[in-house]
Amino acid sequence: MYKYQTEIEALNECNIKCPPEELYSFGGTLYRFVHPVDCKESVKNNLPVCKISPKRQLEDEKKCVAHASLSCFDSDKQAQKFILEKSLDNKKIYKSVGCCIGEFYISEKDGARTDSNEDGHFSFFEYEGTDLNSKYKITRELTKCNP
């Protein structure tokens, strides 16, 4: 059972296959954007879009899958490249997703993931009972954060 099973079932009721069939349990290191713990935005560090912005319009199946999962990268460098490119068009992206990169240590009991795309990005679906807040450390500050 997934942590956000109710939200996943709601997507399935709209004929959107979530999570995708090609998921596999994952144990290892992953990288995500996070806010420092002293920042008020840090409460959103490990929440999927469906919990942060539940009414967000979902235009396509790709966005629907991301709606109930966490956005992750295979490496720190891939995450850094991604956000630097996105920040050229969206100056508020750091406030939205986080101004730091967190390195997470995941066991196979924590969740399942999709395959990575060419940019090293993948979706991670937490299993019920998983708490990622104790499984990471901040490894890189991308920009100054506002507490």
Structure tokens at 123: 């979706």
Question: Is-contact 76 139, C-beta < 8 A?
Answer: yes
20-69 pLDDT tens trace: 778 899 999 999 999 888 888 888 888 887 777 655 555 555 555 667 88
More confident residue, 39 or 82: 82
In a domain, 13, yes or no: yes
pLDDT band at 131 (very low <50, low <70, confident <90, very high): very high
| pLDDT above 90 for 79 | yes
pLDDT band at 105 (very low <50, low <70, confident <90, very high): very high
CA-angle at 76, arms to 108 and 139, nearest 5°: 90
Q: Are strands 136-141 and 100-106 parallel, antiparallel or unpaired?
A: antiparallel
In a domain, 126, yes or no: yes
Mean local confidence (pLDDT), 70-74? 95
State the Cα–Cα distance between residues 128 and 63, nearest whole angstrom. 22
Which residues form the domain of 36? Answer: 5-141
In a domain, 91, yes or no: yes
Whether the pTM exceeds 0.95: the reply is no
Taking residue 142's Cβ as centre, other Cβ atoms within 10 Å add up to 18
First-to-last C-alpha distance (Å) of the chain: 35
In a domain, 10, yes or no: yes
Structure tokens at 58: 């979902």
State the Cα–Cα distance between residues 19 and 95, nearest whole angstrom. 27
Taking residue 91's Cβ as centre, other Cβ atoms within 10 Å add up to 8
| pLDDT above 90 for 137 | yes
In a domain, 51, yes or no: yes
Q: How high is the pLDDT of residue 44? A: 81
Question: Is-contact 32 104, C-beta < 8 A?
Answer: yes
Mean pLDDT of the chain: 84
State the Cα–Cα distance between residues 59 and 55, nearest whole angstrom. 12
In a domain, 147, yes or no: no
* Overall number of domains in the chain: 1
Q: How high is the pLDDT of residue 8? A: 77
